[in-house]
Structure 1
Amino acid sequence: MAAFAMGWSDVDGRPAGGEGGKSLRPTIAMLSAEAVGAPAESALPGAVAVELVHAFSLVHDDIIDNDERRRHREALWKAYGVGPALLAGDGLLALAVNRLAGHPEAAPYLAQALVGLVEGQMADMAFESRPWHGAGRVTVEEYTEMAAGKTGALLGASAATGVALGGAPELGDRMWSAGRDLGVAFQIVDDMLGIWGDPHVTGKPVYSDLMRDKKTLPVLAALEAGGPAARELSGILRAGVGDEHSARHAAELVEAAGGRSAARAAADLHLRRALDVIDACVPDAAELRALCDSLVNRVT
């Protein structure tokens, strides 16, 4: 099951040549080690650990969200059942922790990331039951803190473990901060792709976040902007986005109210913050910088 979750095998255990994910987090770890003058291999314990945690989080996320598809095939729980999938996710997490157990300079960053990841996921789930308007509404500031945990914590751990294992532990905390900002930018772009992306590319059903009442940044920013489009959008959200037609119209209103442009500006802001820290810590990290740029420039 673990091999299936990682994209290495099919449901019957045969080697698979399908999509196994982007390996973004281990790449950040290894490029961070190289940026401080160490061989990329020095970051392997951290690279393996963060990828295992990422796989664990996806297994559990699919169960929580009742998502039946992952990377253009069945989610692990759909293929094997909820109970076995939960245990497989737990096993991936245990392997990740064990991988860094002998590296005290890096292990605390993984532990910190796990706390942030769980807190962020809990906040994201809680947002779904909160109203779009009024005293209990989700603010852009709350969203940003959620994204910094849910997505940013593990990217922070990737960068921090990379420099720590590469022999520059004094840069760990600052690279952690850069990774968190990068994670916020990455999450915002994911939100945009969830509304305006091509499902054949993203592997996600179109408009699924709108139909699930997910409090994504483009929608929150559109509502905060006010104006006729925002007011019409508010009415649709109150009634519930129940089908693809209403979801498509809601997406048009989000863009008309300025939510798409505001989300793009916010992603660019957090990317700049991350790159400023990276430039200050590891000024010769051209490959790392290019990777960060590519994560945000997946959407226009």
Structure 2
Amino acid sequence: MTELITHARTAEEILAWGKETTEPELRAAVERLPSSMRPIAQHHFGWADGAGSGKLLRPTLVLLGAKATGAPLESALPAAVAVELVHNFSLVHDDVMDGDSTRRHRATVWREFGSSAAILAGDALLSLAAKLLSGQPETTHVLMAAVLELIEGQSADLAFERRAEVSVDECRAMAAGKTGALLGAACALGVVAGGGSGNQQRQLRRFGQEVGLAFQLVDDLLGIWGESAVTGKPVFSDLRNRKKSLPVVAALASGTEAGRELAARFGAEPANVAREAELVELAGGRAWARDQAGRHLEQARSHLEAARVEPRAQAELETLARFIVGRDR
């Protein structure tokens, strides 16, 4: 597998390359699922109706991690596919827990096939990820450690819905597990597959973790103010689900009149989520989340510099990080 690159690639070009490289292997892996699970996974990935899967950001980070060490991409493909399977295991289960009816502009798995089938399909994707990495103990350890962090973050996210008060630090720790852990693992896995140094693995993991926190902050903003036609999720879905997302928690902790009104509303069933979105902004939660996303981006860049990796891969990792902070879906 060779590349011919004569110019600095945009984020869209990098993601297209990552998807083109990974998706055939991902499709082949899904074909190995039990026959009862295969059509469910194909629906979730958008292959059943031709809509297509998502951007495949995480596999692209794995490939760039390998490229950063000068390793052939083939060495990182199993890990790239496994990361995407784990990510989608979490999405399928997340939709069940949140009760969201749409994702990527199509019915969620639980909505189309039922909650029980969705839980089994998520389990199947996770099991397949582990199977793909059999015989690779270090790679398996890195990925499964991230899965445990992801589950802990998701557990905290659910617990926060039942709590009247959640601190910003608690919410940030939740996001570090729910989102940062898998992005950090994706970057580290590429280095592991490529035989990079311990320092490169540590620094790229930190890079991915910081990018993950920026990603979650942007995702939380889109969960409130994103357009449904663009994001593919119901408008105000996070507020309807009483998610203690980062901008919401920042607003609740602001000590402002808007924050106090928001707290009173969050203690009851959702009645006017548009007003709640306005209150989050008035209390400073929206501006704070944007500022924090920028701060985490700068922290990510410092770890990327410290990794001392191949210059083209470093530039492309930074390009993707900036894309994540500026995205609208």
Indicate whether 1:4 and 2:4 are aligned: no
Matches within 5 A, 1:164-179: 164-170=192-198, 171-179=200-208
Matches within 5 A, 1:271-290: 271-283=297-309, 284=311, 285-290=314-319
Q: 2:100 touches 2:234 (CA, 8 Å); kept in 1?
A: no
Of 212, 220, 224 in structure 2, the residue corresponding to residue 183 of structure 1 is 212
3-state secondary structure, aligned to 1:37: coil
Q: 1:185 touches 1:268 (CA, 8 Å); kept in 2?
A: yes
Q: Kindly report the root-mean-square deviation, in angstroms, between the aligned alpha carbons of the 2 structures.
A: 1.6
Contiguous gaps of at least 5 residues in structure 1: 10-15, 132-136
Q: 1:48 touches 1:96 (CA, 8 Å); kept in 2?
A: yes
Q: Deviations over 1:92-118 (max 9, x none)?
A: 111101111222332211011110011
Q: Give how far 1:39 is off.
A: 2.6
3-state secondary structure, aligned to 2:251: helix
Equivalent-residue separation in structure 1 for 2:204 and 2:141 (angstroms)? 14
Q: 1:106 touches 1:160 (CA, 8 Å); kept in 2?
A: no
Specify the alignment match of 1:265 in structure 2.
Answer: 291
Q: Give how far 1:6 is off.
A: 2.1
Q: Give how far 1:40 is off.
A: 2.6
Equivalent-residue separation in structure 1 for 2:55 and 2:229 (angstroms)? 16
Over 3 Å counting, the alpha-carbon distance change for 1:240 and 1:24 in structure 2 is: same
Matches within 5 A, 1:1-300: 1-9=40-48, 16-131=49-164, 137-170=165-198, 171-242=200-271, 246-283=272-309, 284=311, 285-298=314-327
Equivalent-residue separation in structure 1 for 2:278 and 2:173 (angstroms)? 27
Q: Give how far 1:232 is off.
A: 2.7
In structure 2, give the amino acid aligned to 1:207.
F
Equivalent-residue separation in structure 1 for 2:263 and 2:136 (angstroms)? 50
TM-score (ref. length: structure 2):
0.83
Specify the alignment match of 1:13 in structure 2.
Answer: none
Identity of aligned pairs, percent? 52
Equivalent-residue separation in structure 1 for 2:79 and 2:301 (angstroms)? 21
Q: Give how far 1:7 is off.
A: 2.0
3-state secondary structure, aligned to 1:215: coil
TM-score (ref. length: structure 1):
0.91
In structure 1, give the amino acid aligned to 2:242.
D
Contiguous gaps of at least 5 residues in structure 2: 1-39
- Aligned pair count? 286
Q: 2:222 touches 2:231 (CA, 8 Å); kept in 1?
A: yes
Q: 2:203 touches 2:306 (CA, 8 Å); kept in 1?
A: no
3-state secondary structure, aligned to 2:267: helix
Equivalent-residue separation in structure 2 for 1:128 and 1:87 (angstroms)? 25
Out of 68-77 and 222-231, give the one that drifted further.
222-231
Q: Give how far 1:54 is off.
A: 0.8
Out of 165-174 and 149-158, give the one that drifted further.
165-174
Q: 1:71 touches 1:203 (CA, 8 Å); kept in 2?
A: yes
Q: Give how far 1:169 is off.
A: 4.6
Q: Give how far 1:202 is off.
A: 0.6
Equivalent-residue separation in structure 2 for 1:194 and 1:166 (angstroms)? 36
Equivalent-residue separation in structure 2 for 1:169 and 1:91 (angstroms)? 33
3-state secondary structure, aligned to 1:38: coil
Q: Give how far 1:126 is off.
A: 0.3
Q: 2:251 touches 2:283 (CA, 8 Å); kept in 1?
A: yes
Q: 2:88 touches 2:125 (CA, 8 Å); kept in 1?
A: yes
Q: 1:105 touches 1:165 (CA, 8 Å); kept in 2?
A: no
